[in-house]
Structure 1
Amino acid sequence: MSEPFLLDSNFFIEAHRTSYPFDVVPSFWIKVKELVSNGKIISIDKVQKELLKNNDELSQWCIDNLPPDFFKDTTSTIANYALLSGWVYSKSDQYSKPAISEFLDADEADAWLIAYAMTNGNQIVTHETSSPNSRKRVMLPDAATPHNVSCIKTIDLFRVLGVKI
């Protein structure tokens, strides 16, 4: 797995709501813009849709600060999305039908993030944690790991890239 790192929507949402609010830690957001400019981080079209669905301060920041090519098209990942679909359906003894349906919802980003990473060799940056015994939700790390996609947290991303804020 290599750069650029692939960001889940919760990278932005958690930072905005709890860890690095715009008014308290503006240096975080300046650093994010720098990482985008340097091609160190990217995301996908499904994450963009999740981020822009709320007409709030975060969605406006994304519109104002993230270039259109930051959010990559997922069309080319359909073959790996199909593999991932087969995998999650094979786990129907573990996951409930609603959990599988939610994971494979075309508007939800998680499965598409994994498919994109499978196709392009990225690591995913997410705040989701593994919960291998969950029946109610397919957690991103639990679906990524069997497909040789690793997930890291924001702080790990910053350490790997040597980022200081």
Structure 2
Amino acid sequence: MDGTTATAGDFLDRALLEEAVKKSGLLWVRAEGSAECRPVWHTWYDGAVVLVGDGGEQPLHGLTTGAGAEVTVRSKDKGGRLVSFPVRVVAVEPGSEAWQGAVDELKGKRLNAPDTDTITERWARECRVLRLEPRGQLTARPGAMPQDSHAAAPLPSAVITRRPIPAGLPKLLLGRRKSRG
């Protein structure tokens, strides 16, 4: 992908990578040296994955300029792993032409922003905009998937969804059904 001699397979892999990233609303990123994959929202701009984080936006744990990372894209249809590829992390400087183009694309993908009118100023002040530039060959693609599941335990969080149901809830729900019938 970043080599000097490209084959037809390289062009097909690049087309698959770009199309998968453009269609997916969420990517999984594992920073170099980390065991944790983190979900991030993103956009595709100028040949790279672009994302904004930290400072009130999504956390960008372990993604540092010049380091590497691995990106995994899921299939929009089935939700399973479609393609994985190595990237180089590059910071985009606020105010630069590349930054403005990336931020214009990211603004359209940012849902429920509390400050839609001044979001770019906040991002310049508080956040980091990163480019994840593909490098090397795909590490997983249809027909060449790793055999391990890549399943991981959920990350620790104070937010939980499972709690015991209140003792009176079944009676309350069943009582309503009987009175309606």
TM-score, normalization by structure 2: 0.24
Judging by fraction of residues, say which structure has more strand.
2
Structure ranking higher on relative contact order (CA contacts 8 Å, 6+ apart): 1
- The answer to which structure has the higher helix fraction is 1
**Bigger Rg over Cα:** 2
